[in-house]
Amino acid sequence: MRLEEPISISNLNDFIFCPISIYFHNLYGNVNTLLFQDTAQINGSFVHEKVDNNEYSDEKSVLQGISVYCEQYNLIGKIDVFNTQTGILTERKKKITTIYDGYIFQLYAQCFALREMGYTVNEIRFYSFDDNKTHRVELPENDEEMFSKFIKLLGDIEAFNADLFVPSTIAKCEKCIYEPLCDRSMEED
């Protein structure tokens, strides 16, 4: 069964962290983020400012912060930076200490959307702002295991039933900015 509403690309990583966090994120929507975001998230937003304001580059070959949609996988979102001449898609992060599967799946979604739009994507990568490092990622067609996980995640999102969800690890609850509001938190009061 395919969801009527497209899946937000940013929700791919959020769903892996905790599907219920998406509910709280949508609930807060346009509320001032200073009320619920922690320092790391606020700093992460800073990294995207230049892209979001179209100030990252003056080069006409550099697409920045554009909205994309992937019909094949019913995904919608924005890219950070894509160079149409080199075919390099870059997702910027404040500081990368671990490349999580969810990060990679966001790049996959952006890659598939750009390809549907007629662009050639030759390379996908992350840029870690704080330490000025670039981390290349295999294209989805070159990493069968990760691509299979990506497809499984999309199925899990479509089949998700919030009423049946039970958190699996206290560590995620402890790191969640929405934990004080969550009725399913594993963290003790």
Question: For 82-101, what is each residue's pLDDT tens digit?
Answer: 999 999 999 999 899 999 99
Strands 123-128 and 133-137, how do they pair? antiparallel
CA 148 vs CA 87, 101, 130, 154, 161: distances in Å: 24, 12, 31, 10, 22
Please report the beta strands in 5-148, taking only residues with DSSP state E, as ranges in sequence order. Answer: 7-8, 62-64, 67-70, 75-78, 81-83, 88-93, 123-128, 133-137
What dotted CATH number matches 7-181? 3.90.320.10
pTM of the model: 0.79
Gap between the Cα atoms of 122 and 99, Å rounded: 20
Cβ count near 137 (within 10 Å): 20
Element (H, E) at 116: helix 101-116
Eight-state DSSP code of residue 83: E
pLDDT in tens, 110-167: 999 999 999 999 999 999 999 999 999 999 999 999 999 999 999 999 999 888 888 8
Residue with the larger pLDDT of the pair 28 and 128: 128
Q: Residue 187: is its pLDDT beyond 70?
A: no
The dihedrals phi and psi of 70, each to the nearest 5 degrees, come to -115, 105
Eight-state DSSP code of residue 127: E
Cβ count near 128 (within 10 Å): 17
Residue with the larger pLDDT of the pair 161 and 173: 161
